Amino acid sequence: MMASDQAVLVLRLAAPLQSWGGPSRYNRRETQPRPTKSGVLGLLAAAEGRSRETPLTDLLGLRLGVRVDQPGSLLRDYHTVSDHRGLPLPSAKVDNKGVQKKTSPAKYTGVTQRYYLQDAVFTAALRGPLPLLQDLEHAVRHPVFPLSLGRRSCPPTGPVSLGLHPHDDLDSVLASVPWQASPHRRRQIRTPHVTLETTVEDPTADHLVDDVPDTYDLKTGTVFGRRAVRHLWVTLPTGRSTPTDPDRVSSTGTGTGTGTGTGTGTGHDPFALLGW
């Protein structure tokens, strides 16, 4: 048992495809570049076996931090939909009996575009009361409903929970949890350290995002509330003792990681932030 009544639950969110849509809907379903609070709380609610109508009051107070361990790339999935019988597609509108109306003028082909993140890896940390996080951590390891990363078609790869941490703040946890990138990504980064983009929920920050759900009830729909976040960079060791890319080693042979020939030996690689 931890001494403090607060703890941090750390999750590894990795999959071939992820999609964190937020408020996007209808025929164009976009994805945010990092997990949303709505999506992460939905994963936890599914793990506990909550119905869509169950209140989220106890989960909304959890503070979320997300570290981009591997940004991945954007994928657009283009769909066309039609009735195999050659009939017009129904409209999204319903009559007073709840029956879908026909499209007018008649529409025979529907087009949807859905966006995903390919091969992305994130470290998500949630800070809150220890008893609640203990229950959530157990649920993530023994989920009632299948877990998904944003959309039901995006199951996670490997174990999701990285355990509970006794730190009092998200910054400390996100700066201490080891780099979670895939082996392929690790081979691309050839410097002793990697700098990762991080977003932390902070009531004193001035950047607002609309991704706090009020409910997951399909009958009423979800209205997204705002939360304040701040952006920072976290530097972690990669496990390499020295840079190994000859194109980024200084002319003095000491390895700056910048290719400037200054021989400072900082290991800083600005190109790594761009995924090069």
220: in domain: yes
Cα 126 vs. chain centroid, distance in angstroms? 12
Evaluate whether residue 62 is within a structural domain. yes
pLDDT at 243 over 80: no
What is the percent of the chain with per-residue pLDDT over 70, rounded to a whole number?
84
Residue 67 falls inside a structural domain = yes
* In-domain check, residue 84: no
Is pTM beyond 0.75? Reply is yes
For every residue of 208-240, DSSP letters joined together read: EEEEEES---TTT---EEEEEEEEEEEEEE-S-
Looking at every residue in the chain, the average pLDDT score rounds to 86
Q: Is residue 215 part of a domain?
A: yes
Q: Which residue has the higher pLDDT, 262 or 204?
A: 204
Residue 249 scores a pLDDT above 50 = no
Domains: count for the chain: 1
Cα distances (angstroms) measured from residue 143 to each of 41, 93, 156, 165:
14, 36, 12, 20
Average pLDDT score over residue span 184-198: 94
Going by pLDDT thresholds of 50, 70 and 90, the confidence category of residue 273 is: low
Residue 18 domain flag: yes
**CATH code of the domain in which 69 resides:** 3.30.70.2660
The answer as to whether 266 is a domain residue is no
pLDDT band at 218 (very low <50, low <70, confident <90, very high): confident
Model confidence pLDDT, tens digit, residues 110-158: 888 999 999 999 999 999 999 999 999 999 999 999 999 999 999 999 8
The residue behind tokens 């932390």 is: 200
Please give the residue range of the domain that contains residue 66. Answer: 6-73+117-180+194-238
CB within 8 Å of 196: residues ≥ 6 apart: 67, 68, 69, 179, 233, 234, 235, 236
252-269 pLDDT per residue, tens: 333 343 344 333 444 556
* pLDDT level of residue 19 (50, 70, 90 thresholds): very high
- Banded pLDDT at 46 (limits 50, 70, 90): very high
37 within a domain of the structure (yes/no):
yes
Q: Is the pLDDT of residue 4 over 70?
A: no
